[in-house]
């Protein structure tokens, strides 16, 4: 048991008992999505207890004016936020006039499971009413085969003669918990009942705003398939519903299927949106619930065929990696280049829907390996399409070049914390590094030498404008930044920021010199500009401590009172929920990898001893209160031989949400950090490196008896399996390939095995 009532299972998330205090936590875990839309694990029927009702449509957001009294020049004009869309799954269920509500009736029996292999959420619940026992069975899925469709099946039984009334509805009168002063983000424009009272539709449009960004229109339509008797309907702006009735004998079912389709004006004409949604749902209804489910489960089976990771000997580790892969694949499919991977995906309001540097730094290599090269290229296209916005962001700061946003929906920065918006500029480096990852992993230089150079030039010119030359030292410096460790703001010469800036300048310069003359002419880079890039990169200042043999996190970091995090009182953790921000900023404690982030990204440039010295100094100071922290530390720990630490941190990243480690799962899942569990297995335990061809240095973690995973690499699919006897590589598809395993260069043609553990 990971938490009370939640059972560890290799393919399922199981809640075996009902706990109102854990309802939001469970709603997050049981979220569903298909890359285009998703929803939290809310009950279909009424629930008046504490809950976060959440339905989210990909690419639909709102530019909300944050109300602060310290607005400064260059500040983002708005704070972009994901907004709750209409309640699509809503049912109101009454049995003999008693509304079924688990917050008001005794819950006698409860079971809920998310089947990750099929992408289906199921629930069984028995409630005690004044007349007797009522049981419900609910099942639903968000179709992975049809981006517009979701469906649910709902059944009611009783142990006595009863009348059952079910209202199936769409409700557009929804709110965000994080809105300013109870703002409403939606206007209701149309509602109605479809022919012969078989279903209904609803159309909502985001309210007007002063920022001249697009308004979004969303239409939902549903069809009901049931043997219950239609009674009446109601349609008004913001609501559309149908009422069905049935008298049942003890043990008899009142059953209803609700098939729902969604259309938005991101893809279809706003004026015809209601008809479009109705047309979609008519087509889906012809397949029926079982037909739609069959297509959906087949689509999930195909995804798992490519992406599954197996672990033997540690069921909690197995559940963790599959849970994370399930939600990653539910959040992004690569089918729409306008979409990206929000840190909460479709599971909550906080951060949700927006794009952070998390995508390039953590998610990009995973999708490239488990979903393929074209999906990775879609993520690169997303950033290239938003390059004008990056130039706009830099200009707002009075700087040349392109500054990619910390948070965005459209390329324009929309984050409302000054220490992030103005100072966490290292995010530019992650964008460049993804281009490097794509090029070295796939061997495809076509993106680098075309659109990639556009992006890299904008980033390089930003760094040229952001550095300053220090006459005293003869070095270039970068002051007033926030590094990856957000527990320090407005520091000077953050080692990671300076290092990644210099690397970006070199990366652009080398790529530019390799580009065709026509592309060079198009970019308009002068010899003087190239020479300055080289000079800045070569003369960048880096804080170091020769005695300790470490790179110093920033100029004054070692002036702090240094103490390991394990001396903190347990009741103070997590710090961000117990300490004032002032106290956190003055402390030595590190939220996530900072110097170590650079040694992870640029690991091919540093030796093992350098990594070990820095790890030994910084990891004990790290509280891992960012979800992005454990995976980087685990990968480095595996590389330098700290196997137990690597396994410990793997569990932390793999089970962060399942075990509610940071005490915030109820807000939504940590989607982007979920990629870390795959990275730890592939880059940590399997030792995968791709900077100079493919190399592997696999070992079997203690407590595991075996593990295996497959990955796409340069037109091949390769399966790696490791157990106590040794390693086996299988070329599942594609031509033969040469690679390194441990210290040996091999030619993989079909299957290759070797005994040993790589230690």
Q: Whose CA is closest to 701, among 363, 364, 318?
A: 318
d(CA 650, CA 702): 12
| pLDDT higher at 325 or 71 | 325
Please give the full DSSP string across 650-689, using - where no structure is assigned. HHHHHTTTTTTTTS-GGG---HHHHHHHHHIIIIIIS--B
Q: Average pLDDT of 667-671?
A: 96
Per-residue pLDDT, averaged over 465-474, amounts to 98
- Quickly list DSSP for 180-240: GGG---EEEEEEEE-GGGSEEEEEEEEPP-TT-PPP-EEEEEEEEEESSEEEEEEEETTEE
Q: Return the pLDDT at 70.
A: 66
pLDDT for 640 beyond 50: yes
Residue 546 has pLDDT above 80, yes or no: yes
% residues pLDDT > 70 (the chain): 98
pLDDT at 521: 98
Average pLDDT over residues 462-476: 98
According to the model, what pLDDT value does residue 757 have?
79
Mean pLDDT of the region 560-588:
96
**Averaged pLDDT of the chain:** 96
Each residue of 645-663: pLDDT tens digit? Answer: 999 999 999 999 999 999 9
**Which comes out higher in pLDDT, residue 278 or 3?**
278
Please tell me which residue, 419 or 62, carries the higher pLDDT value.
Answer: 62
Are 346 and 352 in contact, with CB atoms under 8 Å apart?
yes
How far apart (Å, rounded) are the C-alpha atoms in residues 373 and 82? Answer: 28
Percent residues over pLDDT 90 in the chain: 92
Q: Give the largest CA-CA distance in the chain.
A: 90
What value does the mean pLDDT take over residues 64-80? 76
Give start-end residues of each CATH 2.70.98.40 domain in the chain: 31-281+295-304
| Each residue's pLDDT tens digit, 498-530 | 999 999 999 999 999 999 999 999 999 999 999
CA–CA gap between residue 133 and residue 425 (Å, rounded): 59
Q: Residue 497: its pLDDT value, please?
A: 98
CA angle 514, 515, 516 (to 5 degrees): 125
Report the catalytic residues.
Answer: 486
Instruction: Check pLDDT > 80 for residue 2.
Output: no
Mean pLDDT for 55-73 is 82
Domain 31-281+295-304 has CATH 2.70.98.40: yes
pLDDT at 621: 98
pLDDT digit string, tens, across residues 175-211: 998 777 678 999 999 999 997 889 999 999 999 988 8
pLDDT of residue 75: 82
Instruction: Measure the CA–CA gap between 590 and 753, rounded to whole angstroms.
Output: 42
Q: Which of 51, 133, 136, 148 is nearest to 91 (CA)?
A: 136
CATH 2.60.420.10 maps onto the chain at 686-759
- Fold for 686-759, please state it: Maltose phosphorylase, domain 3 (2.60.420)
pLDDT score for 351: 76
- Does pLDDT of 1 surpass 60? no
Q: What is the DSSP letter of 549?
A: T
Q: Are 129 and 239 in contact (CB under 8 A)?
A: no
The secondary structure of residue 620, as a DSSP letter, is G
Q: What is the pLDDT of residues 385-411, one digit of tens each?
A: 999 999 999 999 999 999 999 999 999
pLDDT on residue 353:
74
Residue 69 has pLDDT above 80, yes or no: no
């Amino acid at each position: 048991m990971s938490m009370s009532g939640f059972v560890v299972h290799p393919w399922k998330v199981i809640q075996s008992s009902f706990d109102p205090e854990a309802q939001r936590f469970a709603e997050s875990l049981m979220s569903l999505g298909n890359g285009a839309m998703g929803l939290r694990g809310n009950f279909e029927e009424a629930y008046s207890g504490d809950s976060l009702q959440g339905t989210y449509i990909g690419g639909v957001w709102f530019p909300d004016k944050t109300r602060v009294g310290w607005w400064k020049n260059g500040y983002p004009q708005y704070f972009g936020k994901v907004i709750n869309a209409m309640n699509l799954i809503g049912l109101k269920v009454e049995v003999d006039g008693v509304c079924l509500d688990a917050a008001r009736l005794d819950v006698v029996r409860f079971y809920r499971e998310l089947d990750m292999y099929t992408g289906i959420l199921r629930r069984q619940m028995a409630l005690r009413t004044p007349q007797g026992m009522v049981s419900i069975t609910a099942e639903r899925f968000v179709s992975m085969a049809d981006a517009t469709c979701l469906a649910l099946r709902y059944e009611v039984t009783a142990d006595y003669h009863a009348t059952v009334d079910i209202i199936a509805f769409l409700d557009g009168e929804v709110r965000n918990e994080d809105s300013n002063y109870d703002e409403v983000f939606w206007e209701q424009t149309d509602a109605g009942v479809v022919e012969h009272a078989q279903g209904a539709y609803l159309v909502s449009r985001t309210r007007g705003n002063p920022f001249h960004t697009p308004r979004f229109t969303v239409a939902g339509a549903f069809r009901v398939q049931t043997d219950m008797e239609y009674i009446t309907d109601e349609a008004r702006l913001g609501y559309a519903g149908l009422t069905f009735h049935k008298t049942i004998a003890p043990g008899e079912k009142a059953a209803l299927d609700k098939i729902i389709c969604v259309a938005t004006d991101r893809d279809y004409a706003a004026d015809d949106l209601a008809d479009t949604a109705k047309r979609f749902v008519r087509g889906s209804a012809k397949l029926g619930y079982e037909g739609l489910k069959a297509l959906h489960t087949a689509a999930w089976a195909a995804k798992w065929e490519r992406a599954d990771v197996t672990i033997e000997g540690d069921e909690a580790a197995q559940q963790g990696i599959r849970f994370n892969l399930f939600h990653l694949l539910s959040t992004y499919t690569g089918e729409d280049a306008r979409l990206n991977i929000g840190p909460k995906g479709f599971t909550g309001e906080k951060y949700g829907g927006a794009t952070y540097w998390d995508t390039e730094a953590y998610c990009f290599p995973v999708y490239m390996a488990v979903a393929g090269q074209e999906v990775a290229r879609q993520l690169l296209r997303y950033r290239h399409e938003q390059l004008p916005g990056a130039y706009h962001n830099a200009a707002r700061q009075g700087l040349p070049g392109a500054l990619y946003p910390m948070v965005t929906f459209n390329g324009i920065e929309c984050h409302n914390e000054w220490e992030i918006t103005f100072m966490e500029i290292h995010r530019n480096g992650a964008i460049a590094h993804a281009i490097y990852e794509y090029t070295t992993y796939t061997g495809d230089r076509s993106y680098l030498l075309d659109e990639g150079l556009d992006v890299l030039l904008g980033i390089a010119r930003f760094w040229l404008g952001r550095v300053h030359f220090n006459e005293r030292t003869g070095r270039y410096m970068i002051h007033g930044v926030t590094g990856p460790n957000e527990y320090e703001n407005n520091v000077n010469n953050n080692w990671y920021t300076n290092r990644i800036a210099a690397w970006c300048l070199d990366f652009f310069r080398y790529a530019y010199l390799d580009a065709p003359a026509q592309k060079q002419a198009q970019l308009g880079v002068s010899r003087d500009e190239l020479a300055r890039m080289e000079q800045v990169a070569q003369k960048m200042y880096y804080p170091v401590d020769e005695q300790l043999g470490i790179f110093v996190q920033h100029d004054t970091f070692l002036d702090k009172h240094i103490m390991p995090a394990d001396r903190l009182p347990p009741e103070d953790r997590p710090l961000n929920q117990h300490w004032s921000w002032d106290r956190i900023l003055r402390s030595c404690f590190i939220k996530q990898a900072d110097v170590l982030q650079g040694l992870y990204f640029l690991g091919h440039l540093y030796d093992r001893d350098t990594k070990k010295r820095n790890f030994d100094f910084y990891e004990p100071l790290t509280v891992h209160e960012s979800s992005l922290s454990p995976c980087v530390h685990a990968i480095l720990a595996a590389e330098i031989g700290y196997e137990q630490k690597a396994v410990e941190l793997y569990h932390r990243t793999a089970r962060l949400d399942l075990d509610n480690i940071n005490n915030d799962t109820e807000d939504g899942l940590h989607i982007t950090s979920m990629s870390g569990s795959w990275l730890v297995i592939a880059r940590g335990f399997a030792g995968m490196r791709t900077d100079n061809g493919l190399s592997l240095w696999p070992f079997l973690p203690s407590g595991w008896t075996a593990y295996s995973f497959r990955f796409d690499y340069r037109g091949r699919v390769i399966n790696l399996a490791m157990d106590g006897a040794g390693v086996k590589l299988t070329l599942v598809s594609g031509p033969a390939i040469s690679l390194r395993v441990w210290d040996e260069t091999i030619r993989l043609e079909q299957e290759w095995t070797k005994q040993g553990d790589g230690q």
